[in-house]
Structure formats: structure tokens, C-alpha cells
Amino acid sequence: MAEFDLRFQVPATVTAQAAQRTLYWPTTGTGSYNTPLGPRLGHLGPVRQPNADLFRLAAMVYAADRSVPRQAGRVNWTRRSFELTVPVLGDAESWNSVAHELARLLDFLSGDEWRLTFRRTRLPRESIADNQHRDAERVVLMSGGADSAIGAFLARTHPEPHVLVSHVGATSIFPIQRDVAARIRDLRSTGSVQHHRQVRFTRSQTQPGGHRFRNENSTRTRSFLFLALGLAVASLNDVPLWIPENGFASLNPPLGPDQLGSLSTRTTHPWFLTELSRLARQVGATAEITNPFARQTKGEMFRWLADEIGDDKIAGDFLSATNSCAHTSRRWLGVTAQHHCGTCFGCLVRRASFAAASLPDTSTYVSDSWPNDRVKSQLQNASVLPSIRGFVARGIRVSDIAAMRLPDGYSASEARDLCTRGACELALLT
């Protein structure tokens, strides 16, 4: 079992043993994270205390997930075990009362086993910025992907001022996010006030003392960090958070009998969002979360956007400027923030959605023109297209729906209908 604690002061000497078990997040100097944020999140403004506690939990989960490789022998999706001791400024008893349920949520999210213990702590002093967006009545997560871009456009059609929040992990995504926000302002020049806030937060490559982290690239929990960040910003005005994602991917139907899901994140799964919101409210956090596209496929979202804009070419150009690829960090494959691999789940659903919505796709896919045999072999081996073809041929089964954890108010028939529509879009790839 991998054990992690979080400390806010870096000792003069960090041993190799301490570096394996301890994460460091000082208010100044070098720690385990690359970020302008201190542990109180003062850079964001006067964040509500339970929301800052929630974000510290998410930061620990993210760093632990990144630092324990899944590979064991020849099995790349080994179930790992984690035990985290999470420092909270608030009532540790309240957090410990929901620790088991929070751990169960994380099990569902990453496919691992999590154990959480919360301890009350004192945090170092930190400058607290003014609330920059006192007029905001909604916060919208905007990653730079197509779904979040459509969500940001939808928010612009509403009258309320709002904040787009972007998590900056890979610096190459930073300009994509900024460009998408600018394009939305151009497309809806008379829309509501739309602020955009980009926040850098990544795990460092090395620990204090020069000890190098081990590395796991799957990072299924990064989206939980993004969600906690959005809730922290929402807590400034105690307003709702939107996390836009097509409902088909959110339900995460298994592509094959040996897979738990479609290889996309489960952070927007309706059960996950409902349970996280309930548990976060129980400890006093701002936690009203909505997915405005929970009942739509990605192709339906694309078509809605095009109808709103009134021009298929302009809509296609806007969506093509977004990034949906899971492999943008693999530059040696020729996949950058301006390119897509063309073979991962995100790319294939994206391509099917352009086709389903009858929109021009000007995205650059590396798989359309293999740069060399090595890249061709790597991307073909990583392609989920065979699994998608098997999924489409098999069809949506009652057992697929029965295996889903659906919250109250979400019927099995609705889930099956949505998955069937999503499968019809994927059939356009075969």
C-alpha cells in the first residue's frame, strides 16, 4: 500500500524515505507542486475553508495517482492501494465521518483502493487576494476540449456574469484555452460578462532534496483536481458550478467485457457528481454541481452549437480549434496541443461527433499521415478503434445499464437510450 501525508514546511534535509511518503506544499519556495497557489488557496481569493480542504484532498489524490505506476509485470491496469492522511483546517471529525464514502468515490473514479484519514492542522499564514469576480453568478469549467468549449458558449448565452476556470497542467494547453475563450467572445459579442481564469497546478518532477518522483501517466484523478478547483472558485460567491461533458461519455459504458468503462474519466458520471456534491455539502463546502449536457451525446452537442451559431463552417472551425486528445504530452509521437493522435477514445468520439453533426473537421490527426513506422506502430497499438468496433457490433445490453450506478431520478431506460444514440454515432467510424 502506498502511503502519503502532506506537510507545509520543508525540512532542511529530506531523506529518500520521507520523499516516498510525504508531499510538501509550502507557501513559498520549492515543494512537491508547481503552482502559484498556497495551501490556503489565497491566490484565488477568500476561498471557503471546507472548499480549500477539499482541494488539498484532491491535490494529494492527484499527486499520489501520478507517483505510483500501475504497471506490475505485464499488467498495465493493476489495482493499486493508497492510504492518505489529509490535513484539514476545519473539523476533522466531520471529514472523517464521510471518509469511507469519499474513498468509495475515489475507488469508482480511478479503479483503485483508497483509504482516507483526516487530521486537523494549522496552516502557515498566506496573503489572501481580493475576490476578482464579485459579480459572477456561475462558474464553468473550461479545459480547452470541445465539450467544455460548448459549455462556455452556452454560459455566454445566459444573462448572468460568470467565470470560466481552466486548469493548466501541460503548458502547451494554456494558449488553446485562451484562444477558445477569445473565440467565444467573438462568436457572442453581445453575450453576458465572461471572465476567464487559468490556474497552473501540477506535480513537480522531483521532491525537495532532488529525489525524483516515480511517474504514472494515466492520471484518471486529474479531473477531480479540476472539479475541486472549480468548486473553490465557486465558493467565493457561493454559486453553482457547471462541468460540461456529453452524457454518453459521462455514463462511461464498457467497451468490452474486460473493461470497466470506455477509458474516459468518470468524474462527470452522474452518480459521482451527485455523491460528491452530497458529501461536500455535508462538511460545509460549496458544492452545487451541474452538467448541462448530461442527457446529450457529443454529436448532439456539436449540432446544437452549429444551430446556435447559424453557420456550419464557423462552428466546425471553432470546434476544430479545441483539443480532445489524451496524448498531447507525447511530443515524440508528433502529438502536440495543436494536433490529435486520432486513435485515443477522445479523438475517435470527437471524429464521430463531427460526422454525426455533419460539420467540417479541420483538426490535424497524426494518424491520418503517419510520420514514420515507429509512430505508426505505437499509435496503432494504443488505438481503441477495435474496442469501439466491438462495442458497436455488440450493441447496448441490459447488463451494461444494470452495471451502471445511476443516481435517483436517472432511469435505466434513459441511460440505455442515451448509450444507444452514442453508439450510433460511433458506428460512423466503422
> What SS3 state is found at 403?
coil
More reliable by pLDDT, 116 or 78:
116
**Residue with the three cell numbers 475517435:** 348
The residues near 321 (Cβ < 8 Å, ≥ 6 apart) are: 176, 179, 180, 183
DSSP state of 27: S
Give the span between the Cα atoms of 346 and 335, in whole angstroms.
13
φ and ψ at 342, to 5 degrees?
A: 90, -5
The residues near 386 (Cβ < 8 Å, ≥ 6 apart) are: none
Look at 20-34, 91-105, 322-336 and tell me which has the smallest mean pLDDT: 322-336
Q: Give the pLDDT of residue 129.
A: 97
Residue 221 predicted with pLDDT over 60: yes
Q: Which long-range contacts (CB under 8 A, 24 or more apart) does 371-376 make?
A: 371/334, 375/333, 375/334
Give the 3-state secondary structure of 166-217. Answer: EEECCHHHHHHHHHHHHHHHHHCCCCCCEEEEEEECEECCECCCCCECCCCC
**Residue with the three cell numbers 431506460:** 413
Which among 245, 284, 266 has a CA at the least distance from the CA of 104? 266
Give the span between the Cα atoms of 263 and 249, in whole angstroms.
9
Q: Give the pLDDT of residue 378.
A: 85
Q: Give the pLDDT of residue 263.
A: 47
Alpha carbon of 126 to those of 12, 39, 71, 238, 416: distances in Å?
A: 21, 8, 39, 22, 49
Residue 77 predicted with pLDDT over 80: no
Residue 75 predicted with pLDDT over 50: no
Give the span between the Cα atoms of 98 and 17, in whole angstroms.
30
Give the span between the Cα atoms of 43 and 53, in whole angstroms.
15
Q: Give the pLDDT of residue 331.
A: 66
Whole-number mean pLDDT of the chain? 92
Q: Give the pLDDT of residue 332.
A: 63
Structural contact between residues 60 and 53, judged by C-beta atoms closer than 8 angstroms:
no
Cα angle for residues 322, 252, 312 (degrees, 5° grid): 35
Whether pTM exceeds 0.85: yes
Residue 226 predicted with pLDDT over 60: yes
In this prediction, residue 260 has a pLDDT band, given cuts at 50, 70 and 90, of: very low
DSSP state of 38: -
Note the Cα 122 to chain centre separation in Å: 29
More reliable by pLDDT, 47 or 338:
47
In this prediction, residue 254 has a pLDDT band, given cuts at 50, 70 and 90, of: confident
Per residue in 12-41, pLDDT tens? 999 999 999 999 999 988 899 999 999 999
Which DSSP string corresponds to 305-324?
HHHHHT-HHHHHHHHHTS--
Give the span between the Cα atoms of 150 and 142, in whole angstroms.
9
> Based on C-alpha coordinates, what's the Rg of the chain?
21
